[in-house]
């Protein structure tokens, strides 16, 4: 990794929401781009800021504008984020919108929007900080879209998993721990299982074991949540990444290449289907969250690490 990529990776550990920043070009054309550099600044006067890369195609429109808007995306708007980060055609044709009182394009179905007058532009390295004085705003109760480590996530799913852990003692917690292109698997003879345990002592033991192996699984994102039909019990699996080194595998824990996982050697059918999905998703870098039963459910795409336009 180059120094810039390292710095970008370090910045990306900061968990943010996702916004689309919009303005109207001098000929009235709506322009906008995806931004997670949004920060609230001041209540009195009401100020916010966003950082605009000096390489943005739409920079000229912002330089000439007197107003801009910040639209905070909801968890159902991952496609809107991708459109405003990467689509070269008319982005507004793909996202329903209206015009605010101050002439800025406002996207529909957002968690919140703020229409601002440009208060100050501050040169800051390869970005320009736009500080806006809020003239008008509105917010809804909807679930916001989250972003961390170059992947999207939704708190709604995380909250569902947390409620499940709180309400039922009979929940298996498991981890898909990626180490480069390998997965941490417990292997006894041919029989394979994921690092997983029932809530309580066994789970604490597993966490200690992973800690001993210097496997940092604490930043995991929800990957699959399902009910075992026959027993009414649940399983929740998290996907996480461990650094290559130091990793010290003991107690039958092995790193197996994801592309060659011996899926048929895992005992239960839902885990086998989960691993088959994981293998496919790992190959494309586009992950989803499964929620359902052993046999039927939905996969919601929540992380698309390939559509990263914000990588230099």
Ligand X SMILES: Cc1cc2nc3c(=O)[nH]c(=O)nc-3n(C[C@H](O)[C@H](O)[C@H](O)COP(=O)(O)O)c2cc1C
Binding site for ligand X (CB under 6 A): 18, 33-37, 51-53, 56-58, 81, 84-86, 147, 308-310
Least gap, CB of 123 to ligand X (angstroms): 14
Least gap, CB of 77 to ligand X (angstroms): 12
- Compute CA 104 distance to the chain's CA centroid, rounded to the nearest angstrom: 27
Between the alpha carbon of residue 39 and those of residues 12, 35, 129, 296, 310, the distances in Å are: 15, 11, 11, 40, 18
Query: What distance in Å separates the CA atoms of residue 20 and residue 264, rounded to the nearest whole number?
Result: 44
Q: Report the residue number, 276 or 309, with the smaller CB distance to ligand X.
A: 309
Closest to 287 (Cα-Cα) out of 226, 238, 236: 238
Q: Report the residue number, 132 or 270, with the smaller CB distance to ligand X.
A: 132
Q: Report the residue number, 79 or 136, with the smaller CB distance to ligand X.
A: 79
Least gap, CB of 298 to ligand X (angstroms): 24
Joined tokens for residue 27: 């000929």
Sign (positive/negative) of CA torsion 38, 44, 46, 49?
A: negative
Q: Report the residue number, 173 or 307, with the smaller CB distance to ligand X.
A: 307
The residues, ordered by sequence, that sit 6+ positions from 273 with a Cβ below 8 Å of its Cβ are: none
Q: Report the residue number, 92 or 228, with the smaller CB distance to ligand X.
A: 92
Sheet holding 16-17, edge to edge: 16-17, 145-148, 151-154
């Amino acid at each position: 990794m180059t120094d810039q990529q390292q710095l970008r990776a370090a910045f990306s550990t900061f968990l943010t929401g996702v916004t689309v920043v919009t303005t109207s070009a001098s000929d009235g054309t709506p322009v906008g781009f995806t931004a997670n550099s949004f920060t609230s600044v001041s209540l009195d006067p009401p100020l916010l800021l966003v950082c605009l890369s000096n390489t943005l195609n739409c920079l000229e429109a912002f330089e000439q504008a007197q107003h801009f808007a910040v639209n905070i995306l909801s968890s159902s708007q991952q496609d809107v984020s991708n459109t405003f980060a990467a689509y070269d055609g008319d982005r507004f044709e793909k996202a329903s919108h209206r015009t605010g009182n101050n002439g800025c394009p406002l996207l529909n179905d957002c968690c919140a929007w703020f229409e601002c007058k440009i208060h100050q532009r501050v040169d800051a390295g390869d970005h320009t900080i736009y500080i806006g004085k809020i003239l008008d705003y509105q917010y809804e109760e909807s679930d916001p879209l989250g972003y961390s480590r170059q992947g999207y996530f939704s708190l709604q799913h995380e909250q569902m998993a947390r409620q499940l852990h709180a309400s039922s003692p009979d929940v298996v917690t498991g981890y898909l721990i990626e180490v480069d292109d390998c997965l941490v698997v417990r292997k006894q003879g041919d029989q394979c299982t994921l690092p997983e345990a029932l809530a309580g002592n066994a789970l604490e033991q597993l966490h200690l074991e992973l800690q001993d192996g210097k496997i940092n699984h604490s930043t995991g994102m929800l990957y699959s949540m399902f009910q075992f039909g026959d027993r009414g019990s649940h399983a929740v699996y998290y996907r996480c990444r461990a650094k290559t080194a130091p990793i010290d595998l003991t107690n039958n824990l092995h790193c197996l290449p994801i592309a060659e996982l011996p899926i048929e050697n895992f005992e239960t059918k839902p885990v086998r289907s989960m691993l088959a999905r994981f293998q496919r998703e790992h190959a494309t870098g586009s992950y989803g969250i499964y929620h359902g039963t052993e046999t039927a459910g939905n996969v919601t795409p929540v992380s698309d690490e390939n559509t990263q336009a914000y990588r230099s």
